[in-house]
Chain A
Amino acid sequence: GAGVSQTPSNKVTEKGKYVELRCDPISGHTALYWYRQSLGQGPEFLIYFQGTGAADDSGLPNDRFFAVRPEGSVSTLKIQRTERGDSAVYLCASSLTGWGEQYFGPGTRLTVT
């Protein structure tokens, strides 16, 4: 079956612009997670959805970051007023149940110039 997909695979944007990153989880997976990974580092947890609700958004670095999952499937991570420090690979994962085995998507590489 299809795995987790993320679009776009690469995004280059100018400082100050708004970006949206999309994640399509595995069908039937109720839990969805966003992480970001900087070069040479482990992934950093951002937010966890159980169904449609953000069960935990404590990892979002500041109020420029926001994520939604309106129908309990596809999720969008939104970043306002991007800064160069936001450059990273943004990873999405899903699991059948909350905090179960997570399946990761290929990631979106965001570069802020």
Chain B
Amino acid sequence: ELKVEQNPLFLSMQEGKNYTIYCNYSTTSDRLYWYRQDPGKSLESLFVLLSNGAVKQEGRLMASLDTKARLSTLHITAAVHDLSATYFCAVGFFMNRDDKIIFGKGTRLHILP
């Protein structure tokens, strides 16, 4: 069964702190996406990770991919209130023309001023 699990699902943290969101998936994949969603809005693409060991950074966010461990992380450095949102990882599964993307349940991040 194809599964994508994120944890934690809810995270409340202080400004200035560091934290990591984890995304585990069940079957081999080499395409991993991270998105941000603000309340009542659509999804904004953050990162696309395409190979084992890939690391991408944008501002205070850094994403990495370990395909052998079937794990991606989204690391937040020195959090600021503007980063409060829901973060989704999504994994691409490509199998003999049965291609699909499966999203995790999302991590609702609340950063306290």
Question: Which residues of A line the B interface, CB within 8 A?
Answer: 33, 41-45, 48, 55-56, 58-59, 91, 93, 99-107
Majority DSSP secondary structure for residues of B touching A: strand
Min CB–CB distance A3 → chain B (angstroms):
9
Binary A-proximity of B28-43 (CB < 8 A = 1, otherwise 0): 0001010100000111
Checking B31, B42, B99, B104 against A42 with a beta-carbon cut-off of 8 angstroms, the contacting residue is B104
Question: Which residues of B line the A interface, CB within 8 A?
Answer: 31, 33, 35, 41-45, 48, 88, 90, 92, 94, 97-106
* Complex Cα gap A93–B90 (Å): 14
Given known A99-B31, A99-B92, A99-B94, contact A104–B99 (CB-CB < 8 A): no
* Complex Cα gap A7–B97 (Å): 30
* Complex Cα gap A59–B94 (Å): 13
- Asked if A101 and B103 make an inter-chain contact with CB atoms under 8 angstroms apart, the answer reads no
- Asked if A104 and B43 make an inter-chain contact with CB atoms under 8 angstroms apart, the answer reads yes
- Asked if B43 and A91 make an inter-chain contact with CB atoms under 8 angstroms apart, the answer reads yes
Which chain A positions have C-beta within 8 A of B105?
A: 41-42
- Asked if A43 and B100 make an inter-chain contact with CB atoms under 8 angstroms apart, the answer reads no
Majority DSSP secondary structure for residues of A touching B: loop
- Asked if B45 and A42 make an inter-chain contact with CB atoms under 8 angstroms apart, the answer reads no
Given known A41-B105, A42-B106, contact A104–B44 (CB-CB < 8 A): yes
- Asked if B90 and A42 make an inter-chain contact with CB atoms under 8 angstroms apart, the answer reads yes
Min CB–CB distance A76 → chain B (angstroms):
19
Checking A58, A101, A105 against B98 with a beta-carbon cut-off of 8 angstroms, the contacting residue is A58
Which chain A positions have C-beta within 8 A of B43?
A: 43, 91, 93, 104
Nearest A-chain residue to B104, judged by Cβ: A42
Which chain B positions have C-beta within 8 A of A56?
A: 97-100
* Complex Cα gap A44–B104 (Å): 10
